[in-house]
Structure 1
């Protein structure tokens, strides 16, 4: 709202007829084409968003801040509901930074309408629940630390254009909304008797209800605790965590440890990874099939593996002490690369329906991820040095709104795929203390599927190990430490160039360590003076604790994030 009346950031939309609250609700009730179009034939259109500015609140006679008392909020809700009803509209039950305004199908006064109203100046206010629910919107609205309606509207449009869904309350929730949008769990079928459209489960959709199995029920589940109490094995497919081996004499003599970090490691595997849709069924003497998702009872303790690399089958990188449960990606790698005999598998929990469940989900996230980073000068297939130069500068977005938007969205997209995968075990719901309540509210939901997460983590860990192994075979260089996506290599210069394997064409050899922004490629995280690494390891610390203390050139970084010459080792 400006001094001359309504100003909409979408020019083709007609403005409200007047400046009063009644005019605004009447405008909402005209059936504005504000929606998120479905991206699957079986899906449904989503609510669009209208973002109100501080000037609009003032013009409509609404408070600049969310009322702080229950009584004041109730009075405001009554006022809004009364005005909405005059236009044939209804209001959501609670007043907060976001409210829903809608007209039901068949109600008098106009077409069916449903729209989400974001009261931008109120973001970050209200109860803890309201703050959490609107956390992602608050981040999208932030402009120099203050919520800005035009910025929020612009970023939501870009978000929807990239992913096909509106941002949810959290990145993890958005990941599930995206999956349900690209692979709907339900289809709408018209009832022949009533004519009403009713939801029906789609073939091959993820079922609701607690369908976990004891070896892969997640750390919080009572099934898991029961096995642990009996000292029985559970699935432990996790990222590599704090693995390290003793440095060789040659490595100790090199002046630097170069840290390279894998970009979007999960997205590099989820597009083609076969995952179980329905329950896992128990089998004895199973026939090994790498195309079947599931958990297999295997003993890798006697399998010879590469001495300079972490053991591929364990998150700690050490040789397992006996048999345990492993997901299909781990077993397949051990069979093909290390000649493990699958005839020794005595038990398995196998899927009756194995599909690349996250193919479309991955495609949307990869597309948004690559577009935002291209906006920041990071393009798939760049020359290694061009990439390093662009990566070093990509966060310097001052004065460029497009780059600022791209950097924020790139961060959110990374959180969405990580949070979405983490949602399969819903570890953030630890606030629910009662087991029975947790089982009903969390474990019985369609998105509580720890075995899916185990398959994804296993596939990403194996992909990382495959890159390490092929790079080592071609260059003779192996990491001496690994933590999640970060690999530590001894180097003669503070650069990863000497770790790369190139073909005669000058291009990186496929499947080896390569620099770039594409999922599965690596970026240069830092370079650590080797003397600092040796001191840390001698003290029993993992070198990953030093990764953020040094810049890529090996110089110490001060508390302000800048190089600190006084702290640089001589």
Structure 2
């Protein structure tokens, strides 16, 4: 089937597999088929994972251009490295991101029933063991929960829907100061593995949401809260930390716990009028973060970028990385970054296919890992982390002109990050600000353009952070 890229059930190849006592998973024989033989006392369970490259198993957006065209030995080394450092790929990098969550925190385990003395499947504390419905504000527009509350044509307002997304903000060019207009360059800095860093030590809901009228805000309780943050005055040269657009909120809206906790940190009195809370919660993504952090840092070290480098050495090593000839490690690095972003995105997978009708359930909803609330908490934390660092730089007179997700653009007297990142009197990086380095949460040089280029972008209403590399940064999958 050239449209779905799957072998039909009556294909001769599948008959040969069945004759040899191999079985397929429910996904069938597609770009990433998995064939297995059920467990037996003598052989155990046998399983083989295949990747059909002509069918797009190695998506260029995740693995890099022309990776699927590499010679077989290099492809084998590439997939082995990814499998060793992350896990055996079982589909797209987004699928692998979800599969890694489940592999590290299995939903069930064997437990002996004290009454029958038999082994049974039991849920694992701290794991996502069953699918749960989202709270109404957390659900995407197509979800049955929303269809039951609103007609199909209804456009939900901020007090009806949770909108925790990554930044896409530009500063009003009228707010550029005379001093800023004397700068010569626009320099972009990008946070390494921003979503992974946000997932570290993050408390997220495990069980279903509980509706709570007039709650007292608790910054350690995962959930979403209806609150009015419109009265908090912020510097217009910075994006608001409360909205993806960076524009100040205009009235009551739903916020994930990290966003409201940051409002409280900024000194705003937080008085939510309603909430959907998850009393059963825990650091579900901690092991996931650790696995992907270690994979990223090890791969960067193999490419010559280590944690022990000075800032100047780090920038030089990153510049040399762009020209690094290694055909194996660079695709692995790209795939690791895509695993982070895709895995978080797939927590809120939306319906696919022309035959879908809004209001009907779709297959992803059956997964315990379909959790838009966890996705919202991660993105909220990443955005808050970004704003906290920008606020620290603003305290010494530095304000961004544009932000896109984890990339911020500042005006500078020179072409590199060291030309504008502030220092202490001792010459060290400003505490609480952006720090150059390889670890997740630290920053690297994203790209540089001229001041005139950046101002023209702002005047046209375009985001300089999207094109600071010279192409669309959103296509890079980080």
Normalised to the residue count of structure 1, the TM-score between the two structures is 0.73
Whole-Å separation in 2 of the counterparts to 1:140 and 1:314:
32
What whole-Å deviation, never above 9, does each CA across 1:105-139 have from its counterpart, x for those lacking one? 447xx422412053x7xx234xxxxx36x346998
Whole-Å separation in 1 of the counterparts to 2:118 and 2:72:
38
Indicate the SS of the match to 2:194. Answer: coil
1:180 equivalent to 2:112? Answer: no
Indicate the SS of the match to 1:488. Answer: strand
Whole-Å separation in 1 of the counterparts to 2:6 and 2:236:
62
2:83 to 136, 154, 160: 160
Q: Contact 1:136–1:168 (CA<8 Å) still a contact in 2? A: no
1:111 counterpart residue number? 43
Whole-Å separation in 2 of the counterparts to 1:348 and 1:437:
24
Q: 1:95 to 1:472 in 2, by over 3 A?
A: closer
1:282 counterpart residue number? 211
Whole-Å separation in 1 of the counterparts to 2:6 and 2:245:
50
Whole-Å separation in 1 of the counterparts to 2:237 and 2:361:
43
Q: Contact 1:142–1:151 (CA<8 Å) still a contact in 2? A: no
What are the residue-to-residue correspondences of 1:29-44 with 2, within 5 Å?
none
Whole-Å separation in 2 of the counterparts to 1:261 and 1:186:
38
1:206 to 117, 128, 133: 128
2:198 counterpart residue number? 269
What whole-Å deviation, never above 9, does each CA across 1:460-481 have from its counterpart, x for those lacking one? 00000001011221x3111022
Indicate the SS of the match to 1:523. Answer: strand
What whole-Å deviation, never above 9, does each CA across 1:410-458 have from its counterpart, x for those lacking one? 110110110110011114x432642479514122321211111111111
Whole-Å separation in 2 of the counterparts to 1:218 and 1:418:
19
Q: 1:415 to 1:145 in 2, by over 3 A?
A: closer
Q: Contact 2:58–2:67 (CA<8 Å) still a contact in 1? A: no
Indicate the SS of the match to 2:318. Answer: helix
1:490 counterpart residue number? 411
**Which has more radius of gyration?**
1
Q: 1:194 to 1:223 in 2, by over 3 A?
A: closer
Q: Which runs of 5+ in 2 are unaligned?
A: 472-478
Whole-Å separation in 2 of the counterparts to 1:139 and 1:549:
19
Q: Contact 2:78–2:329 (CA<8 Å) still a contact in 1? A: no
Indicate the SS of the match to 1:404. Answer: coil
1:508 counterpart residue number? 429
Q: 1:138 to 1:101 in 2, by over 3 A?
A: farther
1:448 equivalent to 2:370? Answer: yes
2:278 counterpart residue number? 351
2:343 counterpart residue number? 420
2:231 counterpart residue number? 302
- Pick which of 166-175 and 519-528 moved more: 519-528
Q: Contact 1:240–1:317 (CA<8 Å) still a contact in 2? A: yes
Q: 1:262 to 1:413 in 2, by over 3 A?
A: same
Task: Quote the RMSD (CA, aligned, Å).
Answer: 3.2
Normalised to the residue count of structure 2, the TM-score between the two structures is 0.86
Whole-Å separation in 1 of the counterparts to 2:441 and 2:434:
9
2:314 counterpart residue number? 387
Number of positions where the alignment pairs a residue of Structure 1 with one of Structure 2: 459
Indicate the SS of the match to 2:328. Answer: helix
